Amino acid sequence: MNATAPVPQVAEFVMRPVPPDGRLAQDGRLEKIDIYDLPATDLGRYSGLIFGISVDQRFLGGQRPSLEGWVKAGGRLLMNGHPVAPFLEGMPQWRKLHFHGVDDIWLTALEPHPIWDGLDRRDILLRTGVPGRHSFEELLRIGVGGFYARSYMVGLPDAARSITGIGPGKLPVDVSYPLGAGEVIVHAGNELLGFDTPGTSAEGLANRVMTYLEGGVL
């Protein structure tokens, strides 16, 4: 690591070996670490942690004391994907969503949160491989939904807030809850950093995620 570069305050644990020259991302603000290196990692170096959608949650269950201690001391933790083997106190559980059309996976803004501030959920609802920019009406015709989320969560702790809802029932997709002096954020879908889309209200989403996990005020 370059001695003159800023020391990353956020670590992302991934399900693959990470070569030394591949550890830094997001302009040096994020350090990628193999999930199985977590026990040897000094979590006190970081203000924010990210867990990818494919991480070994059973392994994380064995790391629960250190992870809970880190969050309760004031850390901010973002989990992407489906929580099927909860590894933190209060973590909600994943449920499969049965859907047949875009109305069943429609995304609705619910309670506010700094990461999602100003985000029009229509800008993350549909994607297409057709090059160029497309109006929302055109995306309804040529786009595919379900990339952001196609499931929901149950068993939310009492102090949790539902940030994004899915389908007619506005079931929780993005959830945040306090744990000690820290915070747990769960996004029941693909990697949140990947939805930063230029020219839409989602532009800058990755920066908002990073700034918030770094402890910044947005």
Q: How many degrees, rounded to 5, is the angle at CA 216 between CA 210 and CA 218?
A: 90
The DSSP secondary-structure symbol of 132 reads: S
Reported confidence tier of residue 25, pLDDT bands at 50, 70, 90: confident
| Residue 5: pLDDT over 60 | no
Q: Under a CB-based contact definition with an 8 Å cutoff, are residues 49 and 38 in contact?
A: no
The confidence band for 106, taking pLDDT boundaries of 50, 70 and 90, is very high
- Please report the pLDDT score of residue 144 as a whole number: 66
The tens digit of pLDDT for each residue in 32-66 reads: 999 999 999 999 999 999 998 989 999 999 999 99
Show the domains of the chain with their CATH numbers: 10-213 (3.40.50)
Backbone angles phi, psi at 22, to 5 degrees: -120, 15
Contact 88, 71 (CB under 8 A): yes
Separation of alpha carbons 113 and 218, rounded Å: 10
Q: Is the pLDDT of residue 129 over 90?
A: no
* Whole-number percent of the chain with pLDDT over 90: 71
Residue 61's Cβ-side half-sphere holds a number of Cα atoms within 13 Å equal to 7
| CA distance to 40, 52, 83, 91, 169, per residue, from 68 (Å) | 16, 18, 16, 11, 31
- pLDDT for 112 equals 97
Look at residue 141 and tell me whether its pLDDT is greater than 90. no
Following CA atoms 52, 53, 58, 59 in sequence, which dihedral angle do they give, to the nearest 10 degrees?
A: -20
Q: What is the pLDDT of residues 147-190, one digit of tens each?
A: 899 999 999 999 999 999 999 999 999 999 999 999 999 999 99
Q: Is 71 exposed, middle or buried (0-12, 13-18, 19+ CB in 10 A)?
A: buried
Which pLDDT belongs to residue 1?
A: 43
What's this model's pTM, rounded to 2 decimal places? 0.90
Burial code (b: 16+ CB inside 10 Å, e: under 16) for 100-134 equals: eeeebbbbebbeebebbeebebebbbbbeeeeeeb
Under 8 Å between Cβ of 52 and 77: no
Name the band, by pLDDT with cuts 50, 70 and 90, for residue 130: low
